[in-house]
Amino acid sequence: MDNSIAVKHKSISSGMMLLLAAACGLIVANLYYSQTLIGPISDSIGLPSGAAGLIVTLTQIGYVIGLLFIVPLSDMLENRRLIVVSLAVVVLALIGAAFSTGSATFLTASLLIGSGSVVAQVLVPLAAFLSTEEQRGRVVGNVMSGLLLGIMLARPVASLLAGIWAWQTIFVVSSVLMTLLAIVLARVLPERRPNRSLSYRSLVASLLVLFKQTPILRRRAFYQACLFGSFSLFWTTVPLRLADEYGMSQQHIALFAFVGVAGAVAAPVAGRLADRNWSKPLTIGAILIAILSFLLIALIHDNSAFSLVLLFVAAITLDMAVSGNLVVGQRAIYSLGSETRGRLNGLFMAIFFLGGAAGSFLGGLTYAHGGWALSSWIGVLFPVLALLYFLTEWRSKA
């Protein structure tokens, strides 16, 4: 029996929902601290400029590895213990990163930071377990708002702290926060011990089976991969454009990054509307918003004040599209069955993070060889692919 069933008939408290949202945000932020600090970190650890991208890439690779091989454990092991152990790994990795003197140590720590931070994707399904069917969309939306705020705030906060002290500061601060978070979650989270009907090997092997047999997963993951690809491309290239064309300092770019926080308001709204069976209108709306956001900044890309205003608007609307569609997708996946939620969520997140990695890679590559114009048209292409796929199955329940 799944021990969470006894809890599941009760509504999740506002305090627990707030705690899970804050926890997800603080944990997932670890993936993004280094994105705006590549320069000072690579200089400090002696990493060649051509290999500096590994600082971010290895963190993302670690996250995907964790999604595929750690998150499935949430369908097998007691969740609270898994969460605390994963946070302990993150704490040690953050300390290792902060005190690294060489590239090998830092890159290893980055891989472990990414792997351990998947604990956020154990907390989100746990929030779904603790909520009733009627409130699940709202709960997931609120928790995902915390996660998305963590993503959006990580870059500017890391830049600001690095400007005041040094790049190591954010890793030290985060290690303290992760330690406190592990203590709090160990005390307040209810026990959830899933049915151990499968071995770990069978659980991991079942990922491919679940992918083949779950069309909703494939569809929702592709939509989100495309939108997150455009999102990642934007936030990879826009700091370069702001520095090159507008002469902005690191502190000014950090302040620009705060603008994206406004987009997180879409998550709880999308969750409530998804509870009213508005999933399809929300999906097409998110895709069209993403296309229009990038289309405008692709067509108007001089270095005028108006073009800068369009960048600010795109930062908000792109974040709204990504956050809103993410909640709709996760709600659809969480409705598929309690015993596979952890694995389905792991697959979903792994696929759309691969889309984000593709966006980051293509953004840096195209900006280096074709400038902002080429990068922005690639940004348009990502959501256009999602739109074409959406049009293939009007009758799908995805």
Mean per-residue pLDDT of the chain? 83
Q: Which of 63-67, 125-129, 242-246 has the highest mean pLDDT?
A: 63-67
Round to whole Å and give the CA distance between 248 and 386: 33
* pLDDT band with cut points at 50, 70 and 90 for residue 1: very low
DSSP state string for 307-359: HHHHHHHHHHHHHHHHHHHHHHHHHHHHTT-GGGHHHHHHHHHHHHHHHHHHH
pLDDT at 67: 86
Q: Would you say 315 and 256 are in contact if contact means Cβ atoms under 8 Å apart?
A: yes
pLDDT at 163: 80
Tell me 37's DSSP state. -
- Domain spanning 5-390: which superfamily? MFS general substrate transporter like domains (1.20.1250.20)
Q: Residue 398 pLDDT > 60, yes or no?
A: no
Q: What is the pLDDT of residues 263-282, one digit of tens each?
A: 766 666 776 776 677 778 88
Decide if pLDDT at 53 tops 70: no
With CA atoms as reference, report the closest residue to 234 among 347, 155, 340, 345.
155
Binned at pLDDT 50, 70 and 90, residue 8 comes out as: very low
H-helix or E-strand containing 301?
Answer: none
Let me know: does 311 contact 379? Beta carbons within 8 Å. no
Domain ranges of the chain: 5-390
In degrees, rounded to 5, the angle at the alpha carbon of residue 21 between the alpha carbons of residues 134 and 175 is 155
**pLDDT tier at 338, thresholds 50, 70, 90:** low
363 pLDDT above the threshold of 60: yes
| Average confidence (pLDDT) over 118-123 | 88
pLDDT score, position 219:
92
Assess contact for 228 and 356: CB atoms under 8 A: yes
Per the CB < 8 A criterion, the answer to whether 186 and 84 are in contact is yes
Most confident of 80-89, 122-131, 158-167, 188-197: 80-89
Q: Give the pTM.
A: 0.78
Beta-strand (E) ranges in the chain?
none
The tens digit of pLDDT for each residue in 168-184 reads: 999 999 999 999 999 99
